[in-house]
Amino acid sequence: MRNILRNLIFILFFRPLIWILGLDVKYRDRLPLKGPAILVANHNSHMDTIVLMSFYPLRYLHQVRPVASAEYFLSNRYFEWFCRHILQIIPIQHISLKIKYKNPLEKVEEALNEGSILVYYPEGTRGEPEQMGKFKKGIARLAEQYPDVPIIPIYLQGLGKVLPKGRRLLVPFNMKVVIGEAISREADKRDFIVYLRDKIVSLAKEL
Amino acid sequence: MLAIYQTISALFILLILASCAAYFLGSKETLRDLKSRILSWWIILPVFSLSLIINGALFFILLCFISFMGFKEFISAIPTRQGDRTLIFILYLMIPVQFYFAWRHQAEFAHFIFLFLFLFIALTVILFGETKGMLVSVAVLFWGFVLTIYCFSFIAYLNTVSPSSLSPIGGAALVLYLVVLTELNDVSQYCWGKLLRGKKIIPHVSPSKTISGFLGGVVTTMLLSFLLGNFLVSLTLIQALMAGILIAVGGFLGDILVSGVKRDLGIKDFSGLIPAHGGMLDRIDSLILSAPLFFYFLKVYHLGGQ
């Protein structure tokens, strides 16, 4: 039932919306259709998740799961229902909260074990419009734990203009997406983050 | 109306011939661009001709949509300030307003932009935006509106012109005449340029345009104008040749104008909307100047009894 509702929302609302706004995608075929996989992108807008999910054919859509901050997305009842059941977000607590007895990435790991395709934003927040912030360490931990899961770097441009943080008015701008090749990972945590960030920055040059 | 159907049929036959020619020329790598160009025409031609024939309202929506896409591509390519987002949103909403004025032949069709919108944009930026960088913002937004919406709204005006001695069928024939000549001028400039090569006409703006291509285009367009001038509309020989030159030169200059903008912004195409053609603006660039020029050409000959 929820799958049908999700498909309907994407067909009737999100996809036409994205078509009207205008989207150019480079290397769309690099997107893995089957999980487990992790899509890693820069984050500037709520549109990021919608656009990345809309790339997936409907029969693969149910396995795509965005990782998002629990405090933000679970704040309003209706919004929470939408996020949990339509977007199927995986809520995580910020590591900065230091809940020591609990692994903040536990649910993320569960999802990967189930073969989901994660949408992961290493910046942790949407931040300043059209600027890429610092990457957090969580992704490096996942990469270390799941060496066989492909990580796909993705660069998103223009989405932060369409719907920047803190704004409600959707203004049409062309959006551009470059999808990178699945990357091989290095052992060291910090190096991996730098490496990943450089990869995404270099994708920007392919526009 | 019969002349409109016949002209559109002729266009389809031309497109079929072009497709066959491209098919039999083989599968060389250099032809891939040409083939996807032709494929894109297979979408453009049916959409354009069907909406022109079926219903005025449908054509109105198509024009608004084309302008919307063009304006959006322009807005996306220029650097914009966060504070101007609301204004840009309002400008999007002004597209159907501008087209409505043009459609109904209201005098506001011209005044709306140059008085109301000119002041409105500046005042909104000052009152609700930042003053830092305001002049640039106002100028660029206004310029983009004129380029992609005002110039294009002349087509909406032409479409609702009532039948006259110049155009017994009415506005749709004038639109078809203008669009067919402008687009075929584009195509023939491209073809002559590829066939004859030779010296570049304006190398610092467009590396692919040659003098021979331009001249070939002008001659071809004059010939077509002569053929259609007595059939689709009723222009005299001199009028038809003049319209041909005007549309060919206007189309070329519009193309150059948009190329210049792209050069300044450091982009090749405005978007990837139409495969091998680029964005909407890359496709309609030649109409941007040929439409108002053709409009004033007709005005000189007292179009529609005005």
Is the C-alpha dihedral spanning B278, B281, B285, B291 positive or negative? positive
Q: Smallest Cα–Cα separation from B4: which of B184, B198, B173, B183?
A: B173
Q: Do A173 and B76 lie within an 8 Å CB cutoff?
A: yes
Asked if the bond preceding A36 is cis, omega within 30° of 0, the reply is: yes
The secondary structure of residue B276, as a DSSP letter, is: T
List strands edge to edge, sheet with A23-26: A23-26, A175-179, A151-157, A37-41, A117-120, A64-69, A90-92
Determine the pLDDT at residue B306: 44
Chain A residues interacting with chain B (CB cutoff of 8 angstroms): 21-22, 24, 129, 158, 161, 164, 167, 169, 171-174
Measured between alpha carbons, how far is A96 from B144 in angstroms, rounded to an integer? 46
What pLDDT was estimated at residue B305? 47
- Low-confidence residues of chain B, pLDDT below 70? 27, 30, 302-306
Task: For B165-222, write each residue's pLDDT tens digit.
Answer: 888 888 899 999 999 999 999 999 988 988 888 888 888 888 888 899 999 999 999 9
Task: Say which residues have a Cβ less than 8 Å from residue B13's Cβ, sequence separation at least 6.
Answer: none
Per-residue pLDDT for A102 more than 70? no
Q: Across the interface, do B76 and A164 touch by the CB < 8 Å criterion?
A: no
Locate tokens 């053929």: which residue?
B227
The per-residue DSSP string of A29-49 comes to GGS-SSSSEEEEE----THHH
Place of tokens 């919004």: A79
Q: Do A22 and B86 touch (CB under 8 A)?
A: no
Nearest residue, CB atoms, B85 vs list A22, A24, A167: A167
In chain A, the residue whose alpha carbon lies closest to the alpha carbon of B90 is A171
3-state secondary structure A45-91: CCHHHHHHHHCCCHHHHCCEEEEEEHHHHCCCHHHHHHHHHHCCCEE
Compare CB distances from A158 to B69, B76, B85 and report the shortest one's residue.
Answer: B76
Contact B70, B281 (CB under 8 A): yes
The band of A186, judged by pLDDT with boundaries at 50, 70 and 90, is low
- Which residues does residue B292 pair with via DSSP β-bridges, in sequence order? none
Q: What is the pLDDT of residue B33?
A: 80
Q: Of the CATH numbers 3.40.190.10, 3.40.50.300, 3.40.1130.10, 3.40.140.10, which one belongs to the domain with range A2-204?
A: 3.40.1130.10
Cβ proximity of B167 and B230 under 8 Å:
no
Which of B73, B82, B89 minimises the CB distance to A174?
B73
DSSP string spanning B100-167?
HHHHTT-THHHHIIIIIIHHHHHHHHHHHS-STTHHHHHHHHHHHHIIIIIHHHHHHHHHTPPP-SS-
pLDDT for A73 equals 73
Question: What value does the mean pLDDT take over residues A90-99?
Answer: 67
Helices B2-24 and B32-54: crossing angle in degrees, nearest 10, is 170
Query: Which of A40-54, A67-81, A161-175 shows the lowest per-residue confidence on average (mean pLDDT)?
Result: A67-81
How high is the mean pLDDT of chain A?
A: 85
| B chain contacts of residue A129, beta-carbon cutoff 8 Å | 82
Supply the pLDDT for residue B64. Answer: 96
Q: Which residues of B touch A206 (CB under 8 A)?
A: none
Give the model's pLDDT for residue A166. 83
Widest CA span in chain B = 62
Decide if B72 and A173 are in contact by the 8 Å CB cutoff: yes
Does residue A96 register a pLDDT over 60?
no
A91 pairs with which residues across the strands?
A68
Every domain of chain A and the residues it spans = 2-204
Least Cα distance to B158 among B138, B173, B144 occurs for B173
Question: Which residue type sits at B174?
Answer: L
CB B270 within 8 A of CB B282: yes
Q: What is the token pair recorded at B31?
A: 């032809």
Whether B73 and chain A come into contact, CB under 8 Å, resolves to yes
Q: Is A134 exposed, middle or buried (0-12, 13-18, 19+ CB in 10 A)?
A: exposed
Q: Hey, how many other C-beta atoms are within 10 angstroms of the C-beta on B22?
A: 17
Output A57 or A127, whichever has higher pLDDT: A57
Check residues A134 and A13 and name the one with the higher pLDDT: A13
